[in-house]
Amino acid sequence: MGAILDLTDVHVKIEQAYVLQGVSFSVPEGELVALLGRNGAGKTTTLESILGLCPPFEGEVEFKGESLIGIPPFKIAQKGIGYSPDSARIFSELTVTENLKMGLLHHDGPKNFKAAYELFPFLEEHKENLGKSLSGGEQKLLALARAMVDETLDLLLIDEPTEGLSPENTQKVYTALEEVKDRASILLVADDLELAKEFAEEYVILSSGADQESGDIDELIRNPDIAEKYLSTGVRNGETK
């Protein structure tokens, strides 16, 4: 099966900081790839560079064999990529329904939120309320729902969906991922190794600078040393941040 998303030697600078120094990996069609790494390794920046929000100054990003370099973010999104950022970033002055509508901007045909409401019934209860009236956890779920409400999307970029959620809400995220996994390829930034182990077929670990490790998720499960090396919280081998 071919790759739906291909990153080759991507370099990104944000102001003075050299955040990504040659990131390469691909997301095979129909699979879920977990993007792992410590805080500050550049996971969120990787997603933003795919969407063109912080465009790479070097390297290649291909979606379905087409280069995304130099294309404005809204056109990249229109090609069929959904995005659920880690800080939720829902529209606080829009109602819940309107937030979901923003996820359906380029969906032709009738716009219905049934799928989203079935997964997250609380959204239907609050559908006329403003985004800012939801709790932090609810806002994160709304962001996830907004990214997956358009069922025609081919690739979802999901950033730390369970971070800071209650066990109850985490369970809802698991259900949602289970359901959406069947219809779209997913690049999932996972703060939680359990989440990756549960859903991912493959993993990519970003480390400081150009260091990077990837492979089959079973390998990661079998070999705890890899996780230990890259994901433990201690600072080792002179690596910083």
Q: Which residue's CB is nearer to other proteins, number 18 or number 74? A: 74
In the stretch 81-120, what mask flags binding to other proteins with x, by CB under 8 A?
Answer: --x-x---x-xxxx---x--xxx-xx--------------
Closer to other proteins by Cβ: residue 15 or 182:
15
Q: Which residues contact 118 (CB under 8 A, 6 or more apart)?
A: none
Helix 167-180 with 136-148: angle, nearest 10 deg: 0
3-class DSSP assignment, residue 4: strand
Dist. CA 27–CA 33, nearest whole Å: 6
Give the shortest CB-10-to-other proteins separation in angstroms: 17
Report angle CA 237, 193, 38 to the nearest 5 degrees: 35
Q: Which of residues 129-148 bind other proteins (CB under 8 A)?
A: 146
User: Does 127 help bind other proteins (rule: CB under 8 A)?
Assistant: no
Of 126 and 197, which CB lies nearer to other proteins in the complex structure? 126
Q: Which is nearer to other proteins, 41 or 153 (CB)?
A: 153
Whose Cβ is closer to other proteins: residue 20's or residue 149's?
Answer: 149
**Closest separation in Å from C-beta 167 to other proteins:** 28
Bridge partner residues of 204 (DSSP): 35, 214
Per-residue contact string for residues 45-64; x = within reach of other proteins by CB under 8 A: ------x-x-----------
Q: How far is the CB of 146 from other proteins (least distance, A)?
A: 7
* Shortest separation between residue 139's beta carbon and other proteins, angstroms: 12
Q: 159 or 191: whose CB is closer to other proteins? A: 159
Candidate residues 13, 62, 64, 77; the one interacting with other proteins per rule CB under 8 A? 77
Query: CB within 8 A of 78, min separation 6: which ones?
Result: 106
Question: Which CB, 105 or 210, lies closer to other proteins?
Answer: 105
Tokens of 27: 């997301």
Identity (one letter) of the amino acid at 46? T
Q: How far is the CB of 142 from other proteins (least distance, A)?
A: 12
Residue from 62, 44, 65, 58 nearest 10 by CA: 58
CB 19 within 8 A of CB 12: yes
Total residue length of the chain: 241
| Number of chain positions touching other proteins (CB under 8 A) | 21
Provide the 8-state DSSP code for 154: S
- Burial group, residue 144, by CB count within 10 angstroms (0-12, 13-18, 19+): buried
Residues that bind other proteins (CB under 8 A): 51, 53, 72-74, 77-78, 83, 85, 89, 91-94, 98, 101-103, 105-106, 146
